[in-house]
Structure 1
């Protein structure tokens, strides 16, 4: 892509508030990097919504083009790792936080941040998964590395109606797990059962202060909530089980006891999706390609236009978005006529 293209850009106001503007950019405006990617699709994650609304200090470099996920086609490469026309996907590495991100027609990034887009997925498919799906895959792989299998007992997924949770339910179901899905939206129960959940519990069962040890209920768990929810599900995890912690929608604190760790041998597995090494990233995308039929994404994904990004981010934080959101045809939507 040559010439001018539009982008969503964040500025820091005089009072520290986040100001959202539409900017017209050229390739010369972009940050340093050795690969230019024409952005075909992106998405809105919880972190993106926080950045766009200023509700949390996600952005650490100003001004900032937000968007932590992208999929597209290499438009120019100054690295031997990639050639023009290659299909790629990028999750994390400070995109949308310290390095200009995906809400633009052209992104300039570092070559070793990119992963080849699995042949099974289109750019839209990949962003139907995005960081949420990739994080869910990292979490499933972590539980498997710990040695857990469906024969050990049920697996709990918190925030099951959200992006990470819904993909985690689908991935675990594909491997034969009995899934307990925790959600604050019980009306989504049938949808979650369609993804593979067997039991649905209301998130209130886990969100309040709990006991150091409670009745053993599951052998494994994937948690994107944190705080009291994570503390409670640790207290209910079976002996020698494990919990993969990958999010903080309910808070960064962990008001827990050491009891599950020293009396039941429970493990807490931290999932870092932002700076995960390339080998892990490839394994995660390979697992997504292996276990998720792209047709399943139709039940996970809502597609919006580029102009809908900011209002959708607000709805996401207010709990009004189910599953995943895809912004498709970004390069075309941001093209400036005559640019």
Structure 2
């Protein structure tokens, strides 16, 4: 079957804009709309019918990125190889990650797995829409390619891009955890993550230290002062570090009041390889008013989307040990979150 050319923009004149390509290869309208709904109104989204305008907008975002959506009947039934062959044209932009909504997406209304591969030569793997969306928010991270390599290992797809077995076996396979798509956990949480554009533009977060703490609840200044003291000077004596605040950029800006974890993720700008972050720490309403005043830890590299709570006294330890690669982020997760990983 003859395919029309993919509407890829020209290669960027300045620094390359990272991004994703989402292609509708399936036929079911309901499944396709469900995928788009789960992914949300992501920054840099190139909407059908407005390609030229949105290509410009994508490169002019505060943090340039692009999500090109292709809903063209000519690409119904397309295979990964056909999409690969259409990429890499001279002088054209090449996405970091390609997503295909296929028959496998339509067959599983609970998870809506997408077939994915990196650039023009990555291995095939399965990923859920919400996991893809959160990955898009941090696609500019200088080490994000390592996370994508992990995805290839965690949820490999066969070369034909199909799920093997009968329908019953397919459903059981997706529910099996490690054998399912990357991000299955995110699709089944009681409160599934979804990016929504903020009602007002948020300032860029440009940290220079090993950690970043962002206050998003401004209802109780006394609680904030107490929380910050616990982060900087844990009650337990530390013979090495007197003030963890020396290692954490602290953002106390009312512009972030009510910001969601996804909006904060999207606002973190990584200058260079040396100033990239593994996590962002959020002081939200639960941190201010919860019984243990636990901070929300939001991964930006490993385990993207696996947010968890941590008492403020351990925040400094997490920041320093992750920066030194002494420990992994899983070492700080609560038992329930860690168990869900596997």
Normalized against structure 1, the TM-score is what?
A: 0.25
Determine which structure has greater relative contact order: mean sequence separation of CA pairs < 8 Å that are 6+ residues apart, divided by chain length: 1
Question: Which structure has the highest strand share of the two?
Answer: 1
Normalized against structure 2, the TM-score is what?
A: 0.25
